[in-house]
Amino acid sequence: MYQPGSAGGGVKPSIRIDILSGVPEVLESPLSHSIVGRAREKGLVEIYLHDLREYSTDKHRKIDDAPYGGGAGMILTPQPIFDCIEALMEQRSYDEVIFPSPDGDLFTQKEANELSIQRNLIFLCGHYKGVDQRVRDRWVTREYSAGDVVLSGGELPALMMTDAIVRLIPGVLGDAESALTDSFQEDLLEGPVYTRPAEFRGMSVPDILRSGDHKKIAAWRHDEAVKKTKEKRPDLYKRYYQNRNIP
């Protein structure tokens, strides 16, 4: 079992995340740096990596095999996964066992919000051509897709989802309002943002953002978010108005 980074003392973690993978080393660095790494150092979240090969009963620590019925690719076998999950379940109860998969529901901000208030989560990372269906039938409670694309394994989607969840935990972000104004929180994309200098290579920051009138600035940001969403994501724009019963 790997535990990248270190946890701060005296703080009770808001959430524990266990990630099961055949290549846990792929996950180590992203979970030890930036926002997620700092959250772990503060003790706000616990993240543990579990190498499925450590649970294999095969003398060569093999965790995959050819599919029944023939066909290309290899499938993760059920034994190491069952044993790993059962070992974890003996220690605590889990709210969800999540399997990143191209045929899962699209992972959105709504799902990130829901999962961020849970206590214990498991992410099971498939690899090669996936996992034996019996694993999904027995253990998986949620299946999510990172988009209409096939990746080599579930590690990258698991990292993406973990990041989206952790940044919502109170105390993780320096600015408590930052996560609440992210894209998708209100079915809107975030509008344009600017920082210093006010003038750069002939391009200027909009005057309204330098006016000091926070009410007008908030209105401008909202209008820009609506405009950007309508242009880039008409599906979100439609949902935004439908959810608010705006004619």
pLDDT one-digit tens code per residue, 107-125: 999 999 999 999 999 999 9
Calculate mean pLDDT across residues 144-163.
Answer: 95
* pLDDT tens-place string over residues 51-93: 999 999 999 999 999 999 998 899 999 999 999 999 999 999 9
pLDDT score for 5: 47
Q: What are phi and psi of 217, to 5 degrees?
A: -65, -45
Q: What is the pTM of this model?
A: 0.86
pLDDT score for 247: 56
Q: What are the residue boundaries of the structural domains of the chain, listed by start?
A: 15-166, 183-243
pLDDT score for 12: 81
- Cα 221 to Cα 79, 169, 176, 188: the distances in Å are 52, 25, 18, 11
pLDDT score for 6: 44
d(CA 4, CA 159): 13
Residue 175 has pLDDT above 70, yes or no: no
Residue 100 has pLDDT above 70, yes or no: yes
d(CA 186, CA 164): 16
Mean pLDDT of the chain: 91
pLDDT score for 178: 57
Helix residue spans in the chain (DSSP H): 25-31, 34-41, 78-89, 109-115, 133-138, 155-166, 214-232, 234-243
Candidate CATH numbers 3.40.50.261, 1.10.10.10, 2.30.110.10, 1.10.1270.20; the one for domain 183-243: 1.10.1270.20
Fold of 15-166: Alpha/beta knot (3.40.1280)
* Higher-pLDDT residue of 149, 243: 149
Residue 3 has pLDDT above 80, yes or no: no
State yes or no: cis peptide before 197, omega within 30 of 0.
Answer: yes
* pLDDT tens-place string over residues 222-245: 999 999 999 999 999 998 888 776
DSSP state of 46: E
Q: How confident is the model at residue 177 (pLDDT cuts 50, 70, 90)?
A: very low
- 176 is written with which tokens? 């408590």
